[in-house]
């Protein structure tokens, strides 16, 4: 008997890599994406350049999208999501719904790749005034400006003379329940700082951090160039408040290296918001009866040696649906999920 198709939910970097791998190996993939476009959060949030290699993000995403679109082994449902599922490993019936109606697909395995959403800085961190001050941005707002090669103060349209990043907004915070490190924001802020310095050489750029977490090669690829070549000022300190001062902003807090209070005027403040599970991740966990971890990301059961097997046999999860992940993590886990799903549908076909 022929192998059944594999359902992939989410057309971001992880879902695209899973679909491409399945199709390349000659198996059938059904890809369900709730937006009308593929490319996931990097596309939706207008990332400018990728960390760590400063590659053009839209181009890099297009290179992931092309092998999947018009591929005879991949059927894509745009503007759709999965609303119900029945059956078991090797034989699931899923209902896929879009604005025009619904359809059913019979699949052998499922890969959930529904990703993350950015932390909302209005939630319990009002002291940074994201919704009060025009010149307080998030990393995502800055990415959009960088895409347009135009970094200006939203309040007056002028280029900033000073800009700072505040790290760990919505991450490593026991009070709001996100105790985890979001993994990518130290690198992304440093990359953003380099881009701002390239675009506006007269703008002073600061990064206020608790710990600088640059893992692996990012240390040499971004952190040291940011300091040495682009003269970004890294300040180990805690910013407790952002207030309005004249027509600019003032950040208040403590420089923890010097052990003294600090107050620095700033034209733009960028909040390095972390990662939380997307609404789609939580919804798909409900549809398939998957267990979530304490942070509402999908629980995987294999520890570090198997990052994609969930609590439901035949359903795998990859990318940022299982926790904070960069592109490298997302694409690697997607490849593993594709292998596990293929192995399952092959065995099911042989047993039939």
Residue with smaller CB distance to ligand FAD, 74 or 348: 74
In whole angstroms, what is the distance from residue 5 CA to residue 22 CA? 9
Residues 56 and 9 sit within 8 Å (Cβ to Cβ): no
* Piece in contact with ligand FAD (CB under 6 A), picked from 98-106, 115-123, 254-262, 263-271: 115-123
State in angstroms the smallest separation of the CB of 164 from ligand FAD: 16
Sorted by sequence, the CB contacts under 8 Å of residue 252 that are 6+ apart come out as 239, 240, 241, 242, 243, 261, 262, 263
- Extract the tokens encoding 239: 């910013």
Any residues with CB less than 8 A from the CB of 169 and at least 6 apart, and which? 119, 121, 125, 128, 138, 271, 272, 273, 274
| Region for residue 222 given its phi and psi (left: phi exceeds 0; alpha: psi -120 to 50; beta: otherwise) | alpha
Binding site for ligand SF4 (CB under 6 A): 167-168, 171-172, 181-183, 185-186, 211, 213, 272, 274
Q: Shortest gap between Cβ of 116 and ligand SF4 (angstroms)?
A: 13
Q: What letter does residue 60 receive in the DSSP assignment? A: H
* Residues in 166-205 at the binding interface with ligand FAD, rule: CB under 6 A: 184, 188
- Considering only residues 116-155, where is the footprint of ligand FAD by CB under 6 A? 116, 118, 139-140
Which residues, at least 6 apart from 124, have a Cβ–Cβ distance to it below 8 Å? 175, 176
Q: Does 242 bind ligand FAD (CB under 6 A)?
A: no
> Which of 39, 248 has the CB closer to ligand FAD?
39
Least spacing, CB of residue 192 vs ligand SF4, in Å: 12
Three-state SS for 342? helix
Cis, peptide link before residue 52, omega less than 30° from 0: yes
Q: Which does 283 bind (CB under 5 to 8 A by kind): ligand FAD, ligand SF4, none?
A: ligand FAD
Q: Contact between 81 and ligand FAD (CB under 6 A)?
A: yes
Using the rule CB under 6 A, give the single segment among 121-129, 218-226, 295-303, 324-332 that binds ligand FAD.
Answer: 324-332
Shorter beta-carbon distance to ligand FAD: residue 82 or 242: 82
Question: Which residues sit at the interface with ligand FAD, rule CB under 6 A?
Answer: 9-15, 32-35, 40-42, 47, 50-51, 81, 113-116, 118, 139-140, 184, 188, 275, 278, 280, 283-284, 319-321, 325-328, 330
């Amino acid at each position: 008997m022929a192998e059944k198709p594999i359902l992939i939910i989410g057309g971001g970097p992880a879902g695209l890599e899973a679909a491409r791998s399945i199709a390349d190996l000659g198996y059938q993939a059904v890809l369900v994406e709730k937006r009308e476009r593929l490319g996931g959060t990097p596309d939706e949030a207008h990332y400018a350049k990728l960390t760590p290699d400063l590659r053009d993000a839209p181009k890099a995403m297009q290179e992931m999208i092309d092998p999947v679109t018009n591929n005879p082994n991949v059927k894509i449902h745009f503007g759709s999501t999965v609303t119900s599922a029945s059956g078991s490993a090797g034989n699931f019936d899923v209902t896929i719904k879009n604005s025009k109606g619904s359809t059913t697909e019979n699949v052998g395995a499922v890969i959930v790749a529904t990703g993350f959403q950015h932390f909302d800085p209005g939630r319990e961190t009002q002291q940074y005034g994201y919704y009060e001050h025009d010149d307080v941005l998030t990393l995502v707002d800055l990415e959009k400006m960088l895409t347009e090669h135009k970094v200006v103060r939203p309040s007056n349209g002028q280029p900033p003379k000073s800009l700072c990043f505040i790290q760990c907004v919505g991450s490593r915070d026991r009070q709001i329940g996100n105790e985890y490190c979001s993994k990518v924001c130290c690198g992304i802020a440093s990359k953003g700082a380099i881009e701002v310095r390239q675009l506006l050489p007269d703008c002073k750029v600061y990064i206020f951090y608790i710990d600088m977490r640059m893992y692996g090669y990012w240390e040499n690829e971004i952190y040291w160039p940011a300091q040495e070549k682009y003269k970004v000022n890294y300040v180990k300190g805690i910013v407790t408040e952002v207030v309005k001062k004249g027509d600019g902003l003032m950040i208040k807090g403590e420089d923890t290296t010097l052990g003294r209070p600090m107050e620095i005027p700033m034209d733009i403040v960028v909040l390095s918001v972390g990662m939380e599970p997307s609404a789609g991740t939580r919804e798909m966990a409900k549809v398939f009866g998957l267990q979530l971890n304490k942070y509402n990301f999908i629980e995987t059961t294999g520890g570090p040696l198997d990052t994609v097997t969930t609590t439901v046999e035949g359903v795998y999860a990859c990318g940022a649906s299982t926790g904070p992940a960069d592109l490298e993590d997302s694409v690697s886990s997607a490849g593993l999920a594709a292998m596990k799903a293929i192995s399952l549908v092959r065995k099911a076909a042989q047993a039939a």
